[in-house]
């Protein structure tokens, strides 16, 4: 069986695609998988590292105003459509799966026009523009929040599946992970990550908190995001970190870091939250402001309402507020335990099974 998967730009579109690819490989004896992304997107690094072949096409989103840049992007879209047509024709897939991001537009559209079975997965409660357009042409729409249904008029195609989590994360074990990281099993560990690109606001607060974590001998990994790393290290200045205290630009092995930690500080990307809850981790969530329809605040509040997380809005965020919350939660065993249980209850680790069944039912 041949499966073409396309999704990209940010981790939130790429990792669900990888989770689906992993599951298809695990379940089906003979499956050939090809990814289509862009050279510029994170997928050009992440997909080959995950062991899959990636073909790239040229496509970019449009600006919300009339501009010369948009004219160039229209031309790129035509080129992207032509590249996608060639890839789909040559690979001749049995099914095409799109997980969002501009790149999957031309690929999924082309496959649908050829009569190849097509399915899209939407990670957010408020669908992205590409999925909204593709919804008219595809055979099936998989959604992760019941609320998303109202944005898709042909509701007979819509199936609620939740967000898929990679197998390596679902199967990771806390003590094993702590051993792998070479850190103490009996001491608390903090993981701080602002989505696949990092969060400048979160970095600005964390840079002042790290000296307190060092003073209190708390184990941590802080992920700055690739574009923010150098500035962060500059601002941090001379500081002696222990082996159990790390600042990195990106985590290739999220499974180990997430499994090992006792508390996560994160932004509210849908896949990050699916992973955090699949492992039942308590969290302090700082939703990124100005995301489409403010969806990160919506994601974050829904976990806070379930008692799984505490939320700090970016407008209220500063080092003191975050520092106090970290130490308050870490120092309260009962609260940590309750949040852990509530987080587990909010998780949907079975999502990948549901998605797999839906895909198979189309063949």
Least distance from ligand UD1 to the Cβ atom of residue 107, Å:
17
Least distance from ligand UD1 to the Cβ atom of residue 136, Å:
20
Question: Per the structure block, which two tokens stand in for 15?
Answer: 């990792």
- Nearer residue to ligand UD1 within complex by CB, 52 or 250: 250
Residues 46, 34 contacting (CB under 8 angstroms): no
Told to check if 124 binds ligand UD1 by CB under 6 A, we report yes
Please report, to the nearest 10 degrees, the dihedral formed by the alpha carbons of residues 179, 182, 186, 189 taken in order: -110
What is the helix (H) or strand (E) element at residue 246, kind and residue range?
Answer: strand 245-248
Site string for ligand UD1, 280-299 (x = CB under 6 A): --------x--x---xx---
Told to check if 196 binds ligand UD1 by CB under 6 A, we report yes
Residue from 7, 8, 105, 195 touching ligand UD1 (CB under 6 A): that is: 195
Residue 85 marked in a binding site: no
CA distances from 132 to 109, 141, 143 (A): 12, 10, 12
Question: Per the structure block, which two tokens stand in for 150?
Answer: 């109202």
Told to check if 125 binds ligand UD1 by CB under 6 A, we report no
Residues 234-273 close enough to bind ligand UD1 by CB under 6 A: 250-251, 254, 269-272
What is the helix (H) or strand (E) element at residue 189, kind and residue range?
Answer: strand 189-193
CA distances from 88 to 6, 9, 31, 45, 102 (A): 11, 20, 16, 22, 17
| Cα distance between residue 2 and residue 125, in whole Å | 30
- Nearer residue to ligand UD1 within complex by CB, 135 or 270: 270
Q: How many CA atoms lie within 13 A of 270 on its CB side?
A: 29
Told to check if 232 binds ligand UD1 by CB under 6 A, we report no
Residue 11 marked in a binding site: yes
Of 87-95, 192-200, 229-237, 331-339, the window that binds ligand UD1 (rule: CB under 6 A) is 192-200
Least distance from ligand UD1 to the Cβ atom of residue 46, Å:
8
| Cα distance between residue 42 and residue 29, in whole Å | 29
What is the helix (H) or strand (E) element at residue 104, kind and residue range?
Answer: helix 104-113
Residue 10 marked in a binding site: yes
Residue 196 marked in a binding site: yes
As annotated, the binding site includes 10-12, 124, 166, 196, 296
Residues that bind ligand UD1 (CB under 6 A): 10-13, 15, 100, 123-124, 193, 195-197, 223, 250-251, 254, 269-272, 275, 288, 291, 295-296
């Amino acid at each position: 069986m041949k499966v073409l998967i396309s999704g990209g730009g940010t981790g939130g579109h790429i990792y669900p695609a990888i989770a689906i690819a992993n599951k298809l490989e695990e379940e089906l004896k003979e499956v050939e998988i090809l990814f289509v992304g862009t050279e510029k997107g994170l997928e050009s690094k992440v997909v080959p590292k995950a062991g899959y072949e990636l073909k790239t096409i040229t496509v970019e989103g449009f600006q919300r105003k009339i501009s010369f840049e948009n004219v160039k992007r229209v031309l790129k879209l035509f080129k992207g459509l032509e590249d996608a047509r060639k890839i789909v024709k040559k690979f001749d897939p049995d099914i095409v799966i799109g997980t969002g991001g501009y790149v999957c537009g031309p690929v999924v559209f082309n496959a649908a026009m050829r009569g190849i079975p097509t399915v899209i997965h939407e990670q957010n409660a408020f669908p992205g523009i590409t999925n909204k357009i593709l919804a008219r042409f595809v055979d099936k729409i998989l959604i992760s929040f019941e609320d998303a249904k109202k944005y898709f008029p042909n509701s007979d195609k819509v199936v609620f599946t939740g967000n898929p989590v990679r197998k390596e994360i679902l199967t990771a074990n806390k003590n094993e992970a702590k051993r792998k990281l070479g850190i103490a099993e009996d001491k608390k560990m903090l993981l701080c990550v602002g989505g696949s690109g990092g969060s400048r606001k979160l970095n600005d607060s964390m840079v002042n908190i790290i000296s307190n974590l060092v003073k209190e001998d708390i184990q941590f990994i802080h992920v700055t995001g690739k574009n923010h790393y150098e500035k962060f290290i500059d601002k941090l200045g001379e500081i002696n970190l222990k082996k159990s205290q790390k600042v990195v630009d990106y985590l290739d092995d999220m499974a180990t870091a997430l499994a090992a930690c006792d508390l996560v500080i994160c932004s509210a990307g849908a896949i990050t939250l699916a992973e955090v809850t699949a492992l039942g981790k308590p969290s302090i969530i700082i939703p990124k402001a100005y995301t489409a329809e403010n969806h990160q605040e919506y994601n974050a509040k829904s976990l806070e309402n379930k008692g799984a997380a505490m939320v700090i809005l970016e407008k209220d965020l500063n080092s003191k507020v975050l520092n106090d919350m970290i130490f308050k939660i870490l120092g309260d065993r009962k609260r940590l335990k309750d949040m852990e249980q509530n987080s587990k209850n909010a998780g949907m680790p079975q999502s990948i099974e549901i998605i797999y069944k839906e895909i198979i039912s189309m063949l």
